[in-house]
Chain A
Amino acid sequence: MAKEKIVAPPKKKKVRAFDVINYIIFVIIGLMIIIPMWKVLVDSLNRYGVYQFRLWPHDPTLEGYLTIIKTSRLIRPFFISLITTILGTFFGLLLSTLGGYVLIQFDMPGRNVFAYYLLFTMIFSGGMIPEYLVMKQLGLVGTWWILVVKHGINVYNLVLMRNFFEGVPASLYEAARIDGCSPMGIFFRIVLPLSKAALASIGLMFAVSIWNDYSTVQIYINKSENVNFQYKLRTMIMDGDTPVTQYNVSQTTLFNAGIIAAILPFMLLYPFLQKYFVKGVNIGAVKE
Chain B
Amino acid sequence: MSKKEIRFTSTGDPVRQKPLSLRIWQNRGFYFMFLPVFAFVLIMYYWPMLGIRFSFFEYKASGRGAMTWVGLQHFQTMFLNPIKAPAFWTAFKNTIELSVVKLLITTFASVIVSIFLNEMQNIHAKKALQTVIYLPHFMSWAVVASIFSLFLSPSSTGLVNGILQSTGVLKHGEYVYFLASSVWWKPIYYLINIWKETGWGTIIFLATLSGINPELYEAADIDGASRGQKIWYVTVPALANTIITVLILNLAKVMNLFESVFVLYNTAVYDVSDVISTYIYRQTFATMNPDYGFSTAVGLFKSLVGCVLVLVCNWASKKTRGRGII
Direct A–B touching, Cβ under 8 Å:
yes
Instruction: With A15-B227, A114-B34, A130-B49 given, name 15 new contacts (CB 8 A).
Output: A40-B147, A52-B159, A95-B37, A98-B33, A108-B27, A123-B326, A127-B280, A129-B295, A133-B51, A170-B12, A174-B11, A233-B146, A234-B142, A270-B131, A274-B130
Question: Are B135 and A37 interface neighbours, CB within 8 A?
Answer: yes
| Chain A 93-114 interface residues, beta-carbon cutoff 8 Å to B | 94-95, 98-99, 101-102, 104-112, 114
A106, A109, A118: the one within 8 Å of B20 (CB): A109
- Contacts A37-B135, A125-B49 known; A288 to B325 CB distance under 8 Å? yes
Question: Are A267 and B48 interface neighbours, CB within 8 A?
Answer: no
- Contacts A129-B51, A274-B134 known; A8 to B121 CB distance under 8 Å? yes
B206-236 Cβ-contact flags toward A at 8 Å (1 or 0): 0110100010011001000011000000000
A263 and B146 CA atoms in complex are apart in Å by: 12
- Contacts A121-B46, A129-B284 known; A182 to B29 CB distance under 8 Å? yes
Question: Are B8 and A106 interface neighbours, CB within 8 A?
Answer: yes
Question: Are B136 and A33 interface neighbours, CB within 8 A?
Answer: yes
**List of A residues within 8 angstroms of B5 by Cβ:** 106
CB distance from B76 to the nearest CB of A (A): 19
A179 and B48 CA atoms in complex are apart in Å by: 44
Question: Are B146 and A1 interface neighbours, CB within 8 A?
Answer: no
**List of B residues within 8 angstroms of A8 by Cβ:** 121
A204 and B187 CA atoms in complex are apart in Å by: 31
Identify the closest chain A residue to B3 (Cβ). Answer: A112
Question: Are A129 and B139 interface neighbours, CB within 8 A?
Answer: no
- Contacts A4-B123, A99-B37, A130-B296 known; A233 to B29 CB distance under 8 Å? no
Question: Are A23 and B125 interface neighbours, CB within 8 A?
Answer: yes
A1, A50, A152, A271: the one within 8 Å of B131 (CB): A271
B108-121 Cβ-contact flags toward A at 8 Å (1 or 0): 00000100110111
Q: Which of B131, B145, B300, B326 gathers most chain A CB within 10 Å? A: B326
Question: Are A122 and B326 interface neighbours, CB within 8 A?
Answer: yes
CB distance from A188 to the nearest CB of B (A): 11
CB distance from A91 to the nearest CB of B (A): 9
B residues near A (Cβ < 8 Å) are: 1, 5-6, 8-12, 15, 20, 23-24, 27, 29-31, 33-34, 36-38, 40-41, 43-52, 54, 113, 116-117, 119-121, 123, 125, 129-136, 138-143, 145-151, 153, 155, 157-159, 162, 195, 199-200, 203-204, 207-208, 210, 214, 217-218, 221, 226-227, 242, 245-246, 249, 258-259, 262-263, 277, 280-281, 284-285, 292, 295-296, 299-300, 302-303, 306-307, 310-311, 323, 325-326
Question: Are A51 and B162 interface neighbours, CB within 8 A?
Answer: yes
Question: Are B1 and A112 interface neighbours, CB within 8 A?
Answer: yes
A51, A107, A213: the one within 8 Å of B153 (CB): A51
B37, B221, B292, B311: the one within 8 Å of A129 (CB): B292
A residues near B (Cβ < 8 Å) are: 1, 3-4, 6-9, 14-15, 18-19, 22-23, 25-26, 29-30, 32-34, 36-37, 39-40, 50-53, 94-95, 98-99, 101-102, 104-112, 114-119, 121-131, 133-134, 138, 149-150, 152-153, 155, 158, 170-171, 173-174, 182-184, 187, 208, 211-215, 218-219, 230-231, 233-234, 237-238, 252, 255-256, 259, 262-263, 266-267, 270-271, 274, 277-278, 281-282, 285-286, 288
A285 and B11 CA atoms in complex are apart in Å by: 25
Question: Are B34 and A36 interface neighbours, CB within 8 A?
Answer: no
CB distance from A14 to the nearest CB of B (A): 7
**List of B residues within 8 angstroms of A39 by Cβ:** 151, 159
Identify the closest chain A residue to B207 (Cβ). Answer: A282
- Contacts A107-B9, A123-B307, A130-B48 known; A53 to B159 CB distance under 8 Å? yes
